[in-house]
Chain A
């Protein structure tokens, strides 16, 4: 019985590294404790129902909730815009055409044939 328990908490060794989730969990709990202590320091001069709790959008009025929800196609807009060249190529690649699918199969087959035949 005891060795099963010990086997549960053993460390996974990956040749050069190791990984043990239980130690990680303990570490993360300690980190959260520290964060909570630091947070409790700033907690004294916090008053409910005053200006502090309102959202401050640099003076602009606050929208109502439905307007503030960001649609998923707007997220990472900058990333997609900066990688437009890659995405154009990928979109050109993904034609929904069955013949192109089979053509890619033939291309890969040819590449493997060349590798195998040459070497």
Chain B
């Protein structure tokens, strides 16, 4: 049970991010919540890579037969998901700048109501 603490941390991160998105009004805080969810998912992926007493999956001069290596695929998935997160973050901040230009506020309840 104790050894599932990393997964508990993952769930906690995701829930904190979700709560920030749902209960906060400031658009910047909503963006921060999304990045929190994303970091939680990344943490989950990189947690899956670990094997007890393992090293990084790189062959060096000190590698022997009994060297345990951690799983390489989750590293690659995490790398991809981090880059995707950077792209999404850049686009969201760009749009937040434009929203502030047009509305003069960042309150999520004051903007975006379709009148007609």
Q: Contact residues of A with B, CB < 8 Å?
A: 94-99, 102-103, 106
Contact = CB atoms under 8 A, between A and B. Distances in A.
Interface of B: 18, 21-25, 27, 30, 108-109, 111-114
B18 A106 contact: yes
23 contacts: A94-B114, A95-B109, A95-B113, A96-B111, A96-B113, A96-B114, A97-B108, A97-B109, A97-B112, A98-B21, A98-B112, A99-B21, A99-B22, A99-B23, A99-B24, A99-B25, A99-B30, A99-B108, A102-B21, A102-B22, A103-B22, A106-B18, A106-B22
A32 B28 CA distance: 64
Contacts of A98: 21, 27, 30, 108, 112
A95 to B, nearest CB: 7
A50 B97 CA distance: 68
Where chain B touches its partner, the secondary structure class is loop
Nearest to B30: A98
A95 B23 CA distance: 15
A3 to B, nearest CB: 51
Given A95-B109, A97-B112, A99-B108, 5 more contacts: A95-B113, A96-B111, A96-B114, A98-B108, A99-B22
Contacts of A106: 18, 22
Contacts of B21: 98-99, 102
A102 B18 contact: yes
A61 B111 CA distance: 48
Nearest to B113: A96
Nearest to A95: B113
A95 B30 CA distance: 17
B75 to A, nearest CB: 29
